[in-house]
Structure 1
Amino acid sequence: MDSVEEYRIEIPENGHLYAKKWLPEKCLFPIPLVLLHDSLGCVALWRDFPEILADRLSCPVIAYDRHGFGRSSARQKSPSLNFIEEEATHYFPLLKSAFCLSDYLLLGHSVGGAMAIAIAAQDKECRAVVTLASQAFVEDRTRKGIEAAMEAFKKPGQPERLAKWHGSKAAWVFRAWTDVWLSEEFRSWSLAPYIGKVFCPVLAIHGDQDEYGSRAFPEFIAKKSGGISKMRILPACGHMPHREKTWEVLDAVASFVSGHRSEVPEKEQLIPRKGNFKKLITYRKAEAIYDITYYFCTNFLRRGDRTIDQMVQAARSGKQNIAEGSAASATSGEMEIKLINVAKASLQELLMDYEDFLRTRGHRQWEDDSVELAAMRKLGRSHNDSAFFMQMVKTRPPETIANMAIVLIKQNDYLLFRQLKALEEAFLKEGGMRERMTRMRLQARRNGGGRSKTGDAHLK
């Protein structure tokens, strides 16, 4: 394992989510796999599974504690009956923004599998889903299994075992599971509203002796999915396939993922291929900011006002420098970092212009605790396409548009900060073009096919 990193992701509820990332020594595939834990789980309870998974798949693996679990901040209120939907639309987008995820894979255990399906149904950037012992609806077996767990929890030492992983939150964690799943209102819950909207490949793994659900669950997921799907039933296996049948699960996941990867690992190239900048979340958000700014300036600022040119140029600079930085990255990591910094500075300039507009005209800037700010932050985390925001903008007054732009700029500023941090770490670790040239010359010599001395001297 090359590195393991821990993260603290701030959330609007004045708390944080705890996350952890495993990066294998040979990271051949940059698309990460995100793990979603079960009703009593947390990052620590995955144990060594994420590390083994990262090495086996040759890709980064990310796991996080849901709000109220593990090392994330505590919650006072019990989860609502819509907690699976809320994880997909509220909390997961926070993780996605924090890690600057575009394409990604999901693996969810138990209710984490249901959450993975709900996320994939709403986010087309999810490339594939693996569910482990996921529920698809509520069976009598599900309720009986939870009732049996409640009785077991009354035994001496059981609450303390849960507290080992969740601390003072242990009682809340247990009630959050039992109160919702055993409520009469939750009996009618199912994945039916989501599963048909999942078009990425899906693998449903289930144990034939799962105490919380029959094989009807993986059959439902595999048959109802809107795209390619597979079901794998593990014999003599209960509700913890990744612990009870670790190597069978790893083999199944590795085979499934490799069969649906569109990217093939390539040997190092002097000028490596780079991804499409239009897929970058930071670029897409900057494009939305530019379109909003152009509309705002041409409709609400007086013709001849010098601010129009300043704001439009600042917005354009933010967008263009992200694109140019991506294009330059093939030959110069330093140039990419410089251009992303320019984009960040340009958007900061634009932010001040919007704030000046509100202040000088006596308009209200949304307060930190305002309903409008919370709603816009949620939309900004869930959407990156300009067309979505432009539909809203064309029906709003200038005060609202300015506030919307401010929220999007601040969100993109944070994403650009994360992008810069990742670029700087990659540059320190891998170097730039000169370092690639050196590595390739050395590799060619080791392979017995090195360049002539004249050629080597020319490259120095």
Structure 2
Amino acid sequence: MILAPTGFLAVDGAELEYRLIGPQPSDAPCIVMLHEGLGSVGLWGDFPDRLQQATGASVLVYSRAGYGASSPVSLPRPLDYMQREAREVLPKLLDSIGFREGLLVGHSDGASIAALYAGGHQDHRLRGVVLIAPHVIVEDISVASIADIKTAYETSELRTKLARWHEDVDNAFYGWNGAWLDPKFRAWDITDALAYIRVPVAVIQGMADQYGTARQVEIIRDECYCPVEVTMLPGVGHSPHREAGEATLKIIADFAGATLPAAASA
């Protein structure tokens, strides 16, 4: 299958929008980027393009079902929606693009999905994972900030701003927000998956992250048996690739150079 620069992938009954920058994933190492809980293809901005230029790798970004221009989902989302994404959707997506070797780079929810995939699939094609502002447990700070953003969504211009990036903005917002604010979600915990990761891990965490603390990083360090590189960024919040773009880009490019030598020399 030859992928156009933009289009849709039919995966698990949904049409998922994507962007491909650089070579075909079947022809070169590929970095697959997994967005945050309110993210989409468009919300990555030009970061994927800059990452492709810095590494020479193929870079693929896509919107999960319920986000961007991808198919909507039924609400409420199941509370194990990230586990389902890692177990059921992501393997099919990687196969559909001809993924032959590469990295997963995930942000927030996307980082959790990347960790779940790496721990749940002994995929010989996967050379490493980059976790940007990951969640492995639910913290009080996370729930408080997600409650605050619900108020902002319903009383400010936030809904209008997010609608630029999602065709069904309510589906995107309430699918994510409703799950995280469900009292039963407080028991969500994916630490068990971390011990089964068998590839190098790079963690990028803002020290001023309003959605999670350094506890998330400590758990990853404690539970992983694989090499874990951690970068804590002072004064940076929940989106290091936007707030400290150059530093975040260098961390990922250096990691790609160490784990994907072919990409570094492309």
Q: Flag whether TM exceeds 0.5 (same fold).
A: yes
Contact 1:8 1:16 in 2 (8 A): yes
Residue type matched to 2:151 in 1?
E
Matched, 1:244 2:240: no
Alignment of 1:369-448 (within 5 A): none
Distance (whole Å) between structure 2 residues aligned to residue 96 and residue 77 of structure 1: 26
Whole-angstrom distance in 1 between the partners of 2:128 and 2:170: 34
Q: CA separation in 1, counterparts of 2:69 and 2:246? A: 28
- Runs (4 or more) in structure 1 with deviation over 6 Å come to 264-267
**1:19 match: secondary structure:** strand
Map 1:32-431 → 2, pairs under 5 A? 32-123=30-121, 124=123, 125-167=125-167, 169-261=168-260, 263=262
CA shift in 2, pair 1:44/1:264, >3 Å:
closer
Deviation at 1:170, TM superposition (A): 0.8
Q: Which has the higher contact order (CA 8 A, sep 6+)?
A: 2
Cα RMSD, aligned residues only:
2.0
Task: Answer yes or no: is the 8 Å Cα contact 1:204–1:222 preserved in 2.
Answer: no
Whether the aligned pair in 2 keeps the contact of 1:4 and 1:23 (CA below 8 Å) is no
The 1:122–1:102 alpha-carbon spacing in structure 2 relative to 1, beyond 3 Å, is farther
Aligned partners of 2:12 and 2:89 also within 8 Å: no
Higher helix share: 1
The reply on whether 1:5 has 2:5 as its aligned counterpart is yes
How far did residue 7 of structure 1 move? Answer: 2.8
Shift, 1:191, TM fit: 2.0
Q: Give the 3 Å change call, closer, same or farther, for CA 136–266 of structure 1 in structure 2.
A: closer
Change (3 A) 1:77 1:150: closer
The structural deviation recorded for 1:77 is 3.0
Higher Rg: 1
Farther-moved stretch of structure 1 (257-266 vs 36-45) = 257-266
The C-alpha deviation readout for 1:380-437, integer Å capped at 9, x for no partner, is: xxxxxxxxxxxxxxxxxxxxxxxxxxxxxxxxxxxxxxxxxxxxxxxxxxxxxxxxxx
SS in 2 for 1:165: coil
Q: 1:182 to 1:4 in 2, by over 3 A?
A: same
Matches of 1:127 and 1:227, distance apart in 2:
12
AA aligned opposite 2:7: Y
**Distance of aligned partners of 1:40 and 1:157 in 2 relative to their CA distance in 1, 3 Å threshold:** same
Alignment check: 8 A CA contact 1:78 1:172 kept: no
Deviation at residue 12 of structure 1 after TM alignment: 3.9
Contact 1:20 1:62 in 2 (8 A): yes
In structure 2, runs of 5+ residues without a counterpart are: none
Letter aligned with residue 110 of structure 2: G
Give yes or no for contact 2:79–2:179 (8 Å, CA) kept in 1: yes
Deviations 1:81-117 (A, max 9, x none): 1111111111112211211113220000001000000
Question: Where is the strand percentage greater, Structure 1 or Structure 2?
Answer: 2
Does the residue aligned with 2:64 lie in a helix, a strand or coil?
coil
SS in 1 for 2:166: helix
Counterpart Cα distance in 1 of 2:142 and 2:18? 29
- Deviation, 1:120, is 0.9
Task: Give TM-score, length-normalised by structure 2.
Answer: 0.92
Which residue of structure 2 aligns with residue 342 of structure 1?
A: none
2:143 match: secondary structure: helix
Query: Is the CA contact 1:201–1:228 (under 8 Å) kept in the aligned structure 2?
Result: yes
Q: Report how far residue 22 of structure 1 moved.
A: 0.3
Equivalent pairs counted in the alignment come to: 260
1:223/1:260 Cα in 2 relative to 1: closer, same or farther (>3 Å)?
A: farther
Q: Report the identity percentage.
A: 28
Once the 2 structures are TM-superposed, how far is the Cα of residue 260 of structure 1 from its aligned partner?
Answer: 2.5
